[in-house]
Structure 1
Amino acid sequence: MKNIKFTLLLLACGFTAAVSAQDVASITQAETTRIVSTLSADNMEGRATFTPGIEKAADFIQNEFQRIGLKPLPGEDDFKQTFSMYRVSPKEQEVKLNGKEIKPEKVFAITDKKELKWTNKGKQKVVTVGEKDNFRTVLGELNNEQQDVLVLVHPKHEDLFSRYQHYLSSGSVKKQLTQGSSKVLVLTDQAKAPKYKVEVENKIEQLQLTNVGGMIEGKRKDEYVVFSGHYDHIGIEAPVAGDSIANGADDDAAGTTAMIMLADYYKQQPQPERSLLFVAFTAEEIGGFGSKHFSEQLNPDQIVAMFNIEMVGKPSKFGPNSAYLTGFERSDLGTLMQQRLQGTNYSIHPDPYPEQNLFYRSDNATLARLGVPAHTISSVQIDQDKTYHTVNDELEQLDMEHLTNMIKAIALGSAGVVSGEDTPTRVDKSQVR
């Protein structure tokens, strides 16, 4: 009798494993390769925000959602969730200190205003960053300053000053233009400014951004499970060996591909218990504006979980077919996934790079701040990866078998949340900055 029971148990286990294998059989390496190859191709021009390349990528993702048979997101008429932002770009900057003209490369302004015209007869506050002062600390304090400020920065801080100046020279993106205070920073050996003249002119553009999202409506229509990845990247960079396109194959064509493949997979299954939202976020690389807009369209209390997927095209430090979950300790979503993956070839681990602050560096952070069990699944060895944000992040760097297996792992690991059998604990909002 014991032998019969044991045989039946083995058969049952074998049957379960066979079903699991069959369930994810539709997730193929050929289809994975087709999608990630298209998203990371040179003709997408690196998918930078506000470029024709990212618009082309949005069209491709929309067509994939149409092919799969998804519905638009709640409250949307089509798959493109479009919204407006402002880009503020420096046009002209002229500064004179005590009668001495300052070179433009030694000036930058932090302002939403189209024009600034200051003289020492105005109401600006003058702050000096001396040789021994901490420039970063002063910048942090300036964020809370309500008054317009002219900041005189000692040349010792030239390296950090130049980095900020270069970053702002390409413009800043803002959801709203405010009437708040402005700051003008000048790299100078002058410690006082009894006489000054500042003139700043900016170019202000109202531009459109687009998330691409679709849905499979569940039996519980108002309980949502989100699968996401950001489809933007950094665009055209300085040429390296004649190549100037930062294709963003791993970051994050890989994650976007996984999201699309999961949409296709779940569409082929019976109607899920919970509604499934599949979203390709825009503008992650310049401030996470896509996920922020998305979070404002839904009640976060109705979002049961978010599986954000980023940089899953290369094996993790834990070996083949493994990934890690950022912010693992902030909810039990990772533990629930681990339980679902027991007995498979796949595994999910806590984030091994806490010093990298990855929990806050992707689109999961916006919803996590609202209490949603929102985490990013990744496998990149971020401390060693040499292609991150370079022109070398190309298709040839990806391990296609690993990427395909990561999609299968997420499909199996998310099954309990999708079916309504698993409900992860909420993130403590007070513990998320």
Structure 2
Amino acid sequence: MNLKRIAGFAFGLLLVFPSVEAQKIKEKTVKKHLYTLASDEMEGRKTGTPGIEKAAKYIEGEFKKIGLKTYEDLPNYRQTFTFTNRRTGEKITGSNIIGVLEGKSKKDEYVIISAHYDHLGMKKEGEGDLIFNGANDDASGVTGVLALAEYYAKRGDNERSIVFIAFTAEEMGLVGSKHFGKGIDASKFIAGINLEMMGKEPNTGPKTAWLTGFERSDFGKIVQKNLKGTGYKLYPDPYPQFGLFFRSDNASLARLGVPSHTFSTTPLDKDGDYYHRVTDEAETLDMKVLTETIRAVAKGTESIIMGKDTPSRVVIEEKKK
């Protein structure tokens, strides 16, 4: 038996894959979550509709199967609240879906893994496809939340507590994440890992993703360090003109000082035929890209969840030119 050859082969595996452990996140499971959440049955998942209620029940069911605990004093996985739609003046009731995986040695320090499960609902009239399925935006992110929840629950070795959240009403102005942020002690929240539109290969090429607000903390540098040698790379947000750091749920926590950033892969300059359109269907996404990205998030943020790295608090103020 050539031990050197075997050792070399094992090292080679580490160079090819984001993490041998992360390979337990299976494409088959990723596809099941994505296709369920983006199905016509969910009716576009608009907050306050029967469609999003179906999605909420699906996420709750998965949290229960995984064995997540409820958050603080909530009687179940729902953080329910009523708000006023700023565009219509309508009173709407929505629910963030929250599950907790308690940490070992640092259980009072929290890392959030989040995505928004709402989308735009359905067209009121017209012909043909009337459903905004929101596969990439953001069933892909919620799929990542569910896959990572199962992954870490099976590992059972997270030193910090992980709070898994499917936020509601992101499309109505980050309403769900703002509501969650009102009730927390931000000093206890070490990082926010937000997932948004992860189902397409970015302009930066295969096995890459980008991160919003890269320069606002050292969170991204920690992820880059953890991904070295894996064949997967993380880049700063290539679309500074869009102000994306403040347009997803990470912003609600970042404004409280939490180093909270959003992972994405979608080439926004090429996605005009899909963004907020009825064409954003599950079939348009690449399951390999989505699965690889979820695995890379697991590997890239591992040292934070394991309590080895603590990212610097986020900088909100715009830098002077």
Aligned residue for 1:285, secondary structure, equals helix
TM-score, with length taken from structure 2: 0.92
In structure 1, stretches of 5+ residues that fail to align are 1-5, 89-167, 174-204
* Partner-residue secondary structure (3-state), 1:253: helix
CA distance 1:297–1:413, shift in 2 (3 Å): same
Structure 2 CA distance for aligned equivalents of residues 324 and 12 of structure 1: 28
Q: Superposed, which structure 2 residues align to 1:100-249 within 5 Å?
A: 168=87, 171-172=88-89, 205=91, 207-219=92-104, 220-237=106-123, 242-249=128-135
Give the Cα–Cα distance (whole angstroms) in 1 for the partners of residues 9 and 290 of structure 2. 30
Counterpart in the other structure of 2:29: 31
Distance 2:126 2:208 in 1: 32
2: CA distance, partners of 1:11 / 1:359: 40
SS of the aligned residue for 2:79 comes to: strand
* Aligned mate of 2:148, from 262, 266, 270: 262
% identical aligned pairs: 46
- Rate the CA distance shift 1:240–1:393 in 2: closer, same or farther, 3 A: farther
Q: How many residues align?
A: 316
Deviations 1:333-387 (A, max 9, x none): 1111011011112111000000011111100011111111010000111122020
CA shift for structure 1 position 76: 1.8
Instruction: Report the equivalent of 1:378.
Output: 264
Q: Higher strand fraction: Structure 1 or Structure 2?
A: 1
SS at match of 1:307: strand
- In the alignment, does 2:231 pair up with 1:345? yes
Which residue identity lines up with residue 96 of structure 2 in the other structure? N
Structure 2 letter corresponding to 1:213: I
**Larger radius of gyration, structure 1 or 2?**
1
User: Which SS does the other structure have where 1:72 is aligned?
Assistant: coil
- Partner Cα separation in structure 2 for residue 377 and residue 262 of structure 1: 14
Question: Partners of 2:154 and 2:282 in 1: how far apart?
Answer: 28
Q: Relative contact order, CA 8 A, sep 6+: which one is greater? A: 2
> Is residue 370–residue 429 contact of structure 1 (8 Å, CA) maintained in 2?
no
In the other structure, the counterpart of 1:409 is 296
**Aligned in 2, Cα 1:19/1:39: closer, same or farther, shift over 3 Å?**
closer
For residues 392 and 15 of structure 1, the distance between their equivalents in structure 2, rounded to whole angstroms, comes to 38
Q: Distance in 2 between matches of 1:318 and 1:422?
A: 27
Q: How far is the alpha carbon of 1:24 from its aligned partner?
A: 1.3
- Contact 2:19–2:295 (Cα < 8 Å) also in 1: no
- CA deviation after TM superposition for structure 1 residue 86, in Å: 3.0
Superposed structure 1 runs of 4+ greater than 2 Å apart: 6-22, 237-241, 428-432
Which structure has more helix as a fraction of its residues?
A: 2
Instruction: Check 1:368–1:274 CA distance in 2 against 1; reply closer, same or farther (3 A cut).
Output: same
Tell me the residue number matched to 2:172. Answer: 286
Give the match for residue 421 of structure 1. 308
User: 2:156 and 2:110 mapped to 1: Cα distance?
Assistant: 16
The alpha-carbon distance between structure 1 residues 15 and 252, as it changes in their structure 2 partners (threshold 3 A), is closer
* Alignment correspondent of 2:285: 398
Q: Answer yes or no: is the 8 Å Cα contact 1:311–1:380 preserved in 2.
A: yes
Counterpart of 1:76 (choices 67, 74, 77) is: 74
Measure how far apart 1:222 and its partner are. Answer: 1.3
Specify whether residues 247 and 8 from structure 1 end up closer, same or farther in structure 2 by C-alpha distance, changes over 3 A only. closer
Superposition RMSD in Å: 2.3
Match of 1:360 among 246, 252, 262: 246
| Structure 1 residues 21 and 172: CA distance shift in structure 2, 3 A | same
Q: How far apart, CA to CA, are the structure 2 residues paired with 1:20 and 1:313? A: 17
Provide the C-alpha distance between the structure 2 equivalents of 1:377 and 1:277, rounded to a whole number of angstroms. 17
Whether contact under 8 Å (1:217, 1:271) holds in the other structure is no
**Structure 2: distance between partners of 1:259 and 1:41:** 18
> C-alpha offsets along residues 222-278 of structure 1, whole Å, 9 cap, x if unaligned?
100010000000011266760000000000000000011000000011331100010
Please give the per-residue CA displacement for 1:49-104, whole angstroms capped at 9, x wherever unaligned.
1100011100000000001110011232211111121357xxxxxxxxxxxxxxxx
